[in-house]
Amino acid sequence: MFTGIVNGIASIVSIKKKKKIHVITVQLPSVLSKNLKIGDSIAHNGCCLTVKSIDYDYITCDVIQETLKKTNLGILNIGDKINIERSVKYGDEIGGHIISGHVMNTVKVTKILKFDKNYILWLKLQDKNLMKYIFYKGFICIDGISLTVGNVSENEFSINLIPQTLLSTTIGSKKKGSLMNIEVDFYTRTIVDTTEYLINTQSIIFKR
C-alpha cells in the first residue's frame, strides 16, 4: 500500500527486455535504500513492483507483460527519471490518499498551462471507460503522485500542480504527448460500480 507522497526520484540504469518480461534496474537516492529488503514492494511511477535484487543503491525488479501493457514502464529508456515511493508501514502518516499501486491505464498530456510557478495539466485517458470515476475535487494518482482533480470535460480532466510537487517529482518535465500512469481512487471506484450495479438490478426488476 502507498500514499502518493513521492519519496524521491530514481534513474533507470539498465533495462533487459525479454519476450514477456522486462528486468529494470534503478539507482535510488541513498536514503531510500536504507533497510530495503528483497521481496519488498516499491512503487515505480505509481506501479507496485517487487524488489528482486539489491546492490547498494541499485535495485532490480521484474515487469511482467500485463504491467508493460497497462503502464508507461514499457516505454522507459536508460537515463529516464521515475518517481519512487516505499510502501507505507504501520504508524506512517497518510499524507496523500490510499493507493494500491495497481495502475489501471495511462493518460496523455494534451495541454500544459503555466502560471508563475504553478502548472495546470490537461490529461486524456487512453481508456475512456475510466472517465466515469473522474470527479471534480476527487482523488487521483498520476505517476505515483496523489493529486486532486480540477476541471472535468467529456473525455479529459485537469490537475493543478504546486511548486513543491514540481520540485520533488518528475511531473514538471512532462511535455505535450507524454504518457503517465493513472490509478483512480479505490473508494470512488467502489461507489460508482456499486451504484451502477444497483441501478442495473432495479432496471431488470422493473422490466419483469
Q: What CATH number does the domain located at 105-193 have? A: 2.40.30.20
Q: Would you state the pLDDT for residue 206?
A: 60
Cell of 36: 530495503
**What pLDDT score was predicted for residue 88?**
85
Note down pLDDT in tens along the chain; length 208 residues: 899 999 999 999 999 998 889 999 999 998 998 899 999 999 999 999 999 999 999 999 999 999 999 999 999 999 999 999 999 877 777 778 889 999 999 999 999 999 887 899 999 999 999 999 999 999 999 999 999 999 999 889 999 999 999 999 999 999 999 999 999 999 999 999 999 889 888 766 666 5
Residue in the block written with cell 456499486: 194
SS (H, E, C) 145-161: EEEEEEEECCCEEEEEE
Residue range(s) of every CATH 2.40.30.20 domain in the chain: 8-86, 105-193
Question: Which helix (H) or strand (E) segment is 121 a member of?
Answer: strand 118-125
pLDDT for the residue 106: 97
pLDDT confidence of residue 203? 66
Q: Kind and range of the H or E element at 52?
A: strand 47-55
Tell the residue number behind the cell numbers 502507498, with chain if given. Answer: 2
Residue 191 is inside which H or E element, if any? helix 186-207
pLDDT reported for residue 65: 93
State residue 137 phi and psi, 5-degree precision: 70, 10
- Collapsing DSSP to helix, strand or coil, 116 comes out as coil
In the chain, what are the helix, strand and coil shares in percent, each to the nearest 5?
Answer: 25, 40, 35
| C-alpha triplet 183, 189, 194: angle, nearest 5° | 160
Q: Are residues 141 and 120 in contact, defined by beta-carbon separation less than 8 angstroms?
A: no
pTM recorded for the entire structure: 0.91
Any idea which fold 8-86 has?
Elongation Factor Tu (Ef-tu); domain 3 (2.40.30)
Residue type present at position 175: K
Say if residue 186 is exposed, middle or buried (CB neighbours under 10 Å; 0-12, 13-18, 19+): middle
